[in-house]
């Protein structure tokens, strides 16, 4: 039985005319408008419906009451959760972060955007992406990593995301940067990749497959579309071995991360490793990059209210100031006013509040060594055996 929120007669008529929900909700904001400006340009009723559809998965489902059935229900609806999450959160990410929706390691004095690019280069190097290769980006977002990696390597990259709005933005940015001959973006579910067997020389995923209901399932699809001998590399979000699901405090941290980041079912590192083997891939290396002893600057400093001390330029300083208590309180109240007077569509403030709560949980999970966003795994599809 569907529990989708009801839409008005006018919106229902538009959907009947083959306009997708994303086209109705985002209007023309996929091109030209970015971040905060794009947030204000949404269809109010569609945004309200998206917010209701997303948050119903967590409303009245506290960590202390969580059951296997609760989590299984979210896994069943992973596609709806992920799609609506990025309908709500994409513009927030572009406004407050950048067009590469992931974390990274930092070197002393290294600007944020440089560190983000270096993290992408490291993954490309780890899986051996070279000029002319056909590469798949699983969960490509608005295409930030794909643009950087194709400029770094000269590879041809196809990006896939379940969210139509992200496909439109990624395509727009590729054209704007003159990269359309190297990049293409398609909408689809990575649990059923719309590509033939043995298509790609390499596949990567950057903090995206955490949205899958089953890592073994998505990794198996990746194995299928890889050419024999092709390499898959992933930065996976996982709970660490220190995580104890029977500990309520631990569970509260995980659930806050899941709600604020559109995740149906986050698992421990050991499950991710087992999933690689279950998918029939040969594990070449794995490492929690967030645990490198030589890193004196934490990966989460942009989310930490005291992270301003690591900012190396004005842009970095402004980004981390938004995460201070004063900055977050101001933004919370500002969005409340905009929503109250009808300038911001319904659900905007709640989305921002949820992202803020998740940021706090990410920092807490990192400080307690319960969570990592950069569990690197590199694996190869076995060569076909001669008959």
Lowest mean pLDDT across 199-203, 350-354, 368-372: 350-354
Q: Which two tokens stand for residue 221?
A: 């699809």
Residue 102 contacts residue 145 (beta carbons within 8 Å): yes
pLDDT of residue 322: 74
The pLDDT confidence band at residue 4, using thresholds 50, 70 and 90, is very low
Look at residue 91 and give its three-state secondary structure.
helix
Q: What is the rounded average pLDDT of the residues 294-314?
A: 86
pLDDT of residue 10: 52
pLDDT of residue 16: 46
Model pLDDT for residues 89-117, shown as the tens digit of each residue: 999 999 889 999 999 999 999 999 999 99
pLDDT of residue 5: 43
The count of other CB atoms within 10 Å of the CB of residue 4 is 11
Q: Which two tokens stand for residue 63?
A: 């960590």
Q: Is the dihedral of CA 74, 79, 85, 90 positive or negative?
A: positive
Q: Which two tokens stand for residue 114?
A: 């440089």
Percentage of the chain surpassing pLDDT 90? Answer: 77
Model pLDDT for residues 273-287, shown as the tens digit of each residue: 999 999 999 999 999
Whether 9 shows a pLDDT value over 60: the answer reads no
Q: Which residues contact 143 (CB under 8 A, 6 or more apart)?
A: 99, 137, 159, 166, 169, 170, 171, 173, 174, 183, 185
- Out of 84-98, 116-130, 297-311, 331-345, give the one with best mean pLDDT: 116-130
Report the half-sphere exposure of 58 (CA within 13 A, side-chain side).
23
386, with CB counted inside 10 A (0-12, 13-18, 19+), is: exposed
pTM of this prediction? 0.92
- Out of 10-19, 23-32, 207-216, 347-356, give the one with best mean pLDDT: 207-216
Angle between helices 9-16 and 44-55 (to 10 degrees): 90
Q: What are the backbone dihedrals phi and psi of residue 310, each rounded to the nearest 5 degrees, phi first? A: -95, -5
Distance CA 302, CA 309 (A): 10
Residue 179 contacts residue 110 (beta carbons within 8 Å): no
pLDDT of residue 96: 85
pLDDT of residue 19: 64
Residue 366 contacts residue 290 (beta carbons within 8 Å): yes
Closest by Cα among 241, 245, 223, 247 to 288 = 241
Distance CA 386, CA 135 (A): 26
Tell me the residue length of the chain: 387
Pairing verdict, β 183-187 and 156-161: parallel
pLDDT of residue 387: 44
**Would you give the DSSP letter of residue 6?**
P
Per-domain residue ranges for the chain?
Answer: 9-99+298-367, 116-291+372-380
The pLDDT confidence band at residue 147, using thresholds 50, 70 and 90, is very high
Distance CA 100, CA 195 (A): 24
Report the half-sphere exposure of 355 (CA within 13 A, side-chain side).
23
Whether 241 shows a pLDDT value over 90: the answer reads yes
User: HEC string of 243-282?
Assistant: CCCCCHHHHHHHHHHHHHHCCCCCCEHHHHHHHHHHCCCE
pLDDT of residue 168: 95
**Would you give the DSSP letter of residue 298?**
-
CATH number for the domain running over 116-291+372-380? 3.40.50.150
Q: Which residues contact 187 (CB under 8 A, 6 or more apart)?
A: 160, 161, 162, 163, 164, 167
Residue 241 contacts residue 213 (beta carbons within 8 Å): no
pLDDT of residue 3: 38
Q: What are the backbone dihedrals phi and psi of residue 67, each rounded to the nearest 5 degrees, phi first? A: -125, 170
Q: Answer with the residue of higher pLDDT: 146 or 315.
A: 146
Model pLDDT for residues 25-59, shown as the tens digit of each residue: 999 888 777 777 888 899 999 999 999 999 999 99
Whether 65 shows a pLDDT value over 60: the answer reads yes
Distance CA 95, CA 38 (A): 9
Q: Answer with the residue of higher pLDDT: 206 or 308.
A: 206
**Would you give the DSSP letter of residue 82?**
H
**Would you give the DSSP letter of residue 143?**
S
pLDDT of residue 279: 98
Q: What is each CA distance from 166 to 28, 169, 170, in whole angstroms?
A: 13, 5, 6
């Amino acid at each position: 039985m569907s529990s989708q929120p009801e839409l008005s007669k006018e919106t229902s008529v538009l959907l009947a005319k083959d306009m997708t929900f994303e086209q109705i909700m985002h209007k023309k904001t996929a091109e030209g408008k970015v971040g905060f400006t794009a947030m204000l340009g949404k269809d109010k009723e569609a945004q309200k419906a998206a917010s209701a559809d997303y948050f119903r998965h967590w409303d009245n489902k506290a960590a202390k009451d969580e059951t296997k059935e609760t989590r299984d229900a979210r896994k069943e609806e992973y596609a709806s959760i992920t799609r609506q999450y990025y309908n709500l959160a994409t513009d927030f990410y572009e406004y407050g972060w950048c067009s590469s929706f992931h974390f990274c390691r930092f070197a002393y004095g290294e600007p944020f955007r440089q560190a983000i690019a270096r993290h992408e280069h490291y993954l490309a190097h780890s899986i051996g992406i070279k000029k002319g290769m056909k590469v798949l980006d699983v969960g490509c977002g608005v295409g930030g990593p794909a643009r950087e990696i194709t400029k770094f390597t000269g590879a041809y990259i196809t990006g896939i995301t379940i969210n139509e709005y992200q496909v439109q933005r990624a395509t727009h940015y590729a054209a704007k940067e003159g990269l359309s001959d190297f990049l293409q973006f398609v909408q689809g579910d990575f649990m059923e990749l719309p590509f033939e067997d043995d298509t790609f020389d390499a596949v990567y995923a950057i903090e995206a497959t955490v949205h899958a209901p089953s890592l073994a399932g998505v990794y198996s699809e990746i194995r299928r579309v890889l050419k024999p001998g092709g390499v898959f590399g992933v930065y996976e979000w996982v709970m660490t071995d220190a995580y104890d699901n029977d500990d309520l405090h631990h569970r509260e941290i995980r659930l806050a991360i899941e709600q604020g980041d559109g995740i149906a079912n986050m698992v421990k590192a050991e499950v991710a490793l087992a999933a690689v083997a279950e998918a029939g891939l040969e594990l070449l290396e794995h490492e929690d990059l967030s645990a490198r002893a030589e890193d004196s600057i934490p990966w989460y400093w942009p989310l930490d209210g005291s992270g301003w001390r690591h900012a190396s330029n004005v842009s970095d300083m402004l980004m981390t100031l938004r995460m201070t208590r004063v900055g977050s309180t101001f933004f919370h109240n500002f969005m409340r006013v905009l929503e109250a007077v009808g300038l911001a569509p319904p659900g905007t403030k709640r989305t921002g509040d949820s992202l803020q709560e998740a940021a706090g949980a990410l920092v807490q999970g990192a400080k307690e060594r319960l969570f990592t966003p950069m569990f690197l795994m590199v694996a190869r599809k076995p060569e076909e055996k001669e008959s």
